[in-house]
């Protein structure tokens, strides 16, 4: 899985996450357009449709989680480096400001992991409600 994202600007990273979460945001629409109604059940392979959607969801979760964790590592390293610089030069106001900004970014990135858990739980609940007749994770 190759990850391409930018960790430097948190707002930009958040925009990237928002784009990566589109399938989760539109899960009900995706399920409504891909699963058959009672009258069309014989015409669509609901098992394959649910399996494919589940794989896309899992890929998205893994990709985003890896992206967030890598950016957390980058931010934590930056905080560590800036703390060392700040400790050696306590009168530097700009350095103190940069340190606090990076600390804030690190906390925001860490909170994104919690957001991911909430999104995943909500999406999988909806997915399971609609796909459980056709597909279970055990059937992989």
Answer whether residue 51 is part of any domain: yes
Range of the domain at 58: 10-35+43-132
Centre a 10 Å sphere on the Cβ of residue 43 and count the other Cβ atoms it contains. 7
Q: Which two tokens stand for residue 101?
A: 């900004």
Q: Which of 27-31, 120-124, 125-129, 136-140 shows the lowest per-residue confidence on average (mean pLDDT)?
A: 136-140
Question: pLDDT (tens digit, 9 = 90+) per residue, 39-85?
Answer: 555 567 888 889 999 999 999 999 999 999 999 999 999 999 999 99
* Cβ contact 86:92 at 8 Å: yes
Q: Is 36's pLDDT higher than 80?
A: no
Answer whether residue 125 is part of any domain: yes
Answer whether residue 137 is part of any domain: no
CA count, 13 A, side-chain hemisphere, 116 = 21
Q: Is 1's pLDDT higher than 60?
A: no
Number of domains, the chain: 1
Percent of the chain with pLDDT strictly greater than 90:
64
Answer whether residue 83 is part of any domain: yes
Answer whether residue 90 is part of any domain: yes
Instruction: Say what the pLDDT of residue 64 is.
Output: 95
Answer whether residue 67 is part of any domain: yes
For the entire predicted model, the pTM comes to 0.83
């Amino acid at each position: 899985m190759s990850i391409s994202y930018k960790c430097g600007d948190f707002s930009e990273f958040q925009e990237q996450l928002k784009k990566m979460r589109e399938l989760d945001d539109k899960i009900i629409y995706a399920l409504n357009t891909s699963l058959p109604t009672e009258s069309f059940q014989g015409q669509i392979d609901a098992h394959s449709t649910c399996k494919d959607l589940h794989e896309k969801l899992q890929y998205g979760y893994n990709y985003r989680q890896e992206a967030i964790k890598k950016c957390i590592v980058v931010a934590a390293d930056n905080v560590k480096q800036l703390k060392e610089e700040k400790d050696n030069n306590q009168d530097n106001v700009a350095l103190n400001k940069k340190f606090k900004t990076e600390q804030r970014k690190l906390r925001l990135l860490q909170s994104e992991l919690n957001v991911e858990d909430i999104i995943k739980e909500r999406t999988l609940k909806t997915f399971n409600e609609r796909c459980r007749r056709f597909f279970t994770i055990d059937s992989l």
